[in-house]
Amino acid sequence: MQQFIDAAPGIRLWTEQRGAADAAPLLLIMGAQASGVGWPDPLVDALAAHHRVIRYDHRDTGRSTWSFEERPYRIADLAEDVIAVLDGLGIDRAHIVGMSLGGMLAQMLLADHPDRLLSATLISTMALSTTPYTRPDGSTVPTDALPGIAPEVLELWARPVEDHGPAAEVERRIEHWRVLAGDQLPFDEGYFRAFEQQVIAHTGHHRAGTAHGRADSDGMLRTDQLAKNEVPALVVSAPAEPVFPPPHPQHLAQCVRGAELVEIPGMGHALPPAVHAPLATAILARTGAVTT
């Protein structure tokens, strides 16, 4: 079932629900410039066998309002959009799963709206905390000394995004996924081509958005609140991650009080078919352990 939610004056967000209406809600939060269909259908269906699964388009993605040029917003506003989606769908509390920027938004929700969450799963993201990382040997590493984004990713992101038509845009996105997916699993070019064609069909155009990279990111740190967290939380470690490489997930699990850590073998900063089943299993193990 598809539905539009009014999140703020002039802002409408596209949402889709799958699964039994009376099942525990599970809301999926995608990363920067990624629409809700960035969550692959097979993964969504696996989760929907146990949950009322909601995925939605951020502002300036998919079928939601593209408004940044006329009305710039903050990253914090994207976090509040999650609450607007829950309110619009009449959901008091939900499990949330966030990837990349979505994992940061999920941390902000853990800190600011813990009463609205049943659990949180954080994937391919970094800690919104200044707490140093403690290595297994007991030594510590300041957050600004943790590994940075891989050079090949930075080089790709530094290139200007030019419109050479839909076919060229699909090829650009495939190259992007090839780098983001890491080097531990075979890269399925055909899968990602079909995936991006689906994203473009859903959006209705092939233009690449840049709003989230330009949005005000001030005030995102939640060091103290995360250290006092009481919401059941899971951190997913992706060993081939080129954006937030290990030990970022280990650090995140230390910063979020009570968080568990699970590794998905071969996973990078992407969701190819090989990770769908193990990722669904990990998420469902976390949500299934929560009593409502």
CA 54/CA 27 separation, integer angstroms: 5
Q: Is-contact 102 82, C-beta < 8 A?
A: no
pLDDT band at 164 (very low <50, low <70, confident <90, very high): confident
- For 209-225, the pLDDT digits (tens) are 899 999 999 999 999 99
**The CATH number of the domain where 56 resides is what?**
3.40.50.1820
Q: How much is the average pLDDT of 82-93?
A: 98
Dihedral (CA of 135, 137, 142, 147) sign? negative
Q: At residue 208, does pLDDT exceed 90?
A: no
3-state secondary structure of 204: coil
HSE of 105, CA atoms in CB hemisphere, 13 A: 25
Apex 112 CA angle, 109 and 117, nearest 5: 50
Distance between terminal CA atoms of the chain?
24
Rg (alpha carbons) of the chain, rounded to whole number: 18
Instruction: Categorise residue 219: left if φ over 0, alpha if ψ from -120 to 50, beta otherwise.
Output: left
- The neighbouring-strand residues paired with 117 are 94
**Total tally of structural domains belonging to the chain:** 1
Work out the number of other CB atoms within 10 angstroms of the CB of residue 11.
18
Q: How far is CA 247 from CA 79, 151, 221, 235, 256, in A?
A: 25, 17, 19, 12, 14
Q: At residue 291, does pLDDT exceed 80?
A: no
Q: Which of 136, 68, 87, 81 is nearest to 109 (CA)?
A: 81
pLDDT, residue 292, reads 62
- For 8-33, the pLDDT digits (tens) are 999 999 999 999 999 999 999 999 99
Share of the chain above pLDDT 70, in %: 99
CA 58/CA 47 separation, integer angstroms: 21
Q: How much is the average pLDDT of 96-118?
A: 98
Q: How much is the average pLDDT of 146-166?
A: 92
pLDDT, residue 162, reads 85
CA 197/CA 81 separation, integer angstroms: 26
Q: At residue 269, does pLDDT exceed 70?
A: yes
Q: Kindly write down the DSSP assignment for every residue of 250-279, as one continuous string.
A: HHHHHHSTT-EEEE-TT--SS--HHHHHHH
Q: Kindly write down the DSSP assignment for every residue of 127-178, as one continuous string.
A: -S--PPEE-TTS-EE-GGGS----HHHHHHHHS------HHHHHHHHHHHHH
Tell me the pTM: 0.97
Q: How far is CA 202 from CA 35, 131, 228, 251, in A?
A: 9, 40, 40, 36
Mean pLDDT taken over the chain: 96
Range of the domain at 198: 2-288
Looking at 52-148, list the stretches that DSSP marks H as alpha helix, in order from N- to C-terminal side: 75-88, 101-112
